[in-house]
Amino acid sequence: MRVRHFSAILFSGLTSTSPLACRQAATNTSAAPSAGATPGTSSGSGGVDMAAAILAIMPSSSSCSGAQFPDECRAAQQAAPFITKACADLSPGECAATVALMGLESVEMKAKHNISPGRPGQGTANMMMPNFVSQYATSLFGADKVAGKSPAEVLSMVTPDEHNFGSAAWFLATKCTADVRASLKTGTDAGWAAYNKDCIGVNGSLPERMAYWTRAKAAFNL
């Protein structure tokens, strides 16, 4: 319950009032899922062409040209190897869910830090709150490397690509129950709903969340 309580405000950084989110609205609704997947693989990214899958899930990720934060923006092609690695220990359903979440939370990989309200230390591809960023950094580097650093300094430890795109998988593996993971493994809307409600603490049925999941299911052949 404690995890769930904290999670309720976890990923609320980018709201519909943020400039980035507003600009994003057009692409949120214009996406056409594309078949980028090959069925039959039972683990990791499920045999999909990850760059094609990311692009199908995040239609604006074809390039970073004109990005507001060019240092932070990543195109599908750039992020694909890192997300493939992050998904290595997840089922395809779980991997698809993390990619959908990253798309929603990072405004399709345009930012690695929270823009609105601009909470210092909130960030990574799934826009984790500072307490989870700190736990993630500790898991990677050890408590002694994190101690005494400001939230923004801790965030900067985990925003290099190899860590930025691994945080959603870390959160899923660390914070989700076995029941939720089993449900997500089925690749169904029920799994997505459980992931959002029981791990993240939000309503996964909201249209803007479902839109990412619907594209993710198609891209991963779920």
Ligand X SMILES: *[C@@H]1O[C@H](CO)[C@@H](O)[C@H](O)[C@H]1NC(C)=O
Q: Where does this chain bind ligand X (CB under 6 A)?
A: 14-16, 21, 24-25, 28-29, 104, 107, 203, 205-206, 208, 211
Residue 219 Cβ vs ligand X, minimum distance, rounded to whole Å: 17
Nearer to ligand X, 154 or 212 (CB): 212
Q: Would you say 110 or 134 has its CB closer to ligand X? A: 110
**Residue 191: CB minimum distance to ligand X, A:** 16
Contact 51, 80 (CB under 8 A): yes
d(CA 171, CA 184): 14
Closest approach, Cβ 140 to ligand X, in A, equals 26
Where do the H-state alpha helices sit in 106-206? 130-141, 143-146, 151-158, 161-164, 167-175, 178-185, 189-194
Pick the closer one to ligand X by CB: 84 or 167: 167
Identity at 90, one-letter amino acid code: L
Residue placing its CB nearer to ligand X in the complex, 14 or 176: 14
In 10 A of CB 27, how many CB atoms? 14
- Tell me the closest approach of the beta carbon of residue 105 to ligand X, in angstroms: 7
Burial class (CB in 10 A: 0-12, 13-18, 19+), 39: exposed
